Amino acid sequence: MVTQVARSGHEGISSSAETRDLRKAGLKVTLPRVKILQILEANRDGHLSAEDVYRGLMDAGEDIGLATVYRVLTQFEAAGIVVRHNFEGNRAVFELNLGDHHDHMVCIGCGRIQEFKDRTIENRQRQVAAETGFELTDHSLILYGRCRECQAAH
């Protein structure tokens, strides 16, 4: 479920935190960018597809097309505002780039995405890279399985 944002029209855009974030990323402040960023901010703990963002905009009464949502999300990714993930089913989802590293578990039954942090796993990955003479610049760990609810249903 996508959390909606209040419809505010064009007023107050110039002083918002979203405007500051867009300018900091080197992007021109436009109404679609501000509204899409507001949807992402309202769903900070979520992983939203372009269609989820679009539905959130429609529910809030915004007249922003799906093609614009895709274009803005791609711009946000290039600017480092969001991170794109392609989990099970090769469906792209986006989350705000909050600067903290975490890994993901994805339920193959219902598609639920659970974030987690584990210092032992992180340390072991760095150790393996060092042992093999590999300079680690980034990594992504995705575990696939069944969540409790899907296990109970089987």
Binding-site residue set: 101, 103, 107, 110, 122, 139, 147, 150
User: 71: burial class by Cβ within 10 Å (0-12, 13-18, 19+)?
Assistant: middle
Q: Quick check: 78 and 93 in contact, CB under 8 A?
A: no
CA dihedral in degrees (26, 32, 34, 37; nearest 10)? -90
One-character DSSP codes across 47-74: -B-HHHHHHHHHHTT----HHHHHHHHH
Q: Quick check: 98 and 44 in contact, CB under 8 A?
A: yes
Binding-site residue numbers for Zn(2+) are 107, 110, 147, 150
**What amino acid is encoded at 49 in this protein?**
S
Binding-site residue numbers for Fe cation are 101, 103, 122, 139
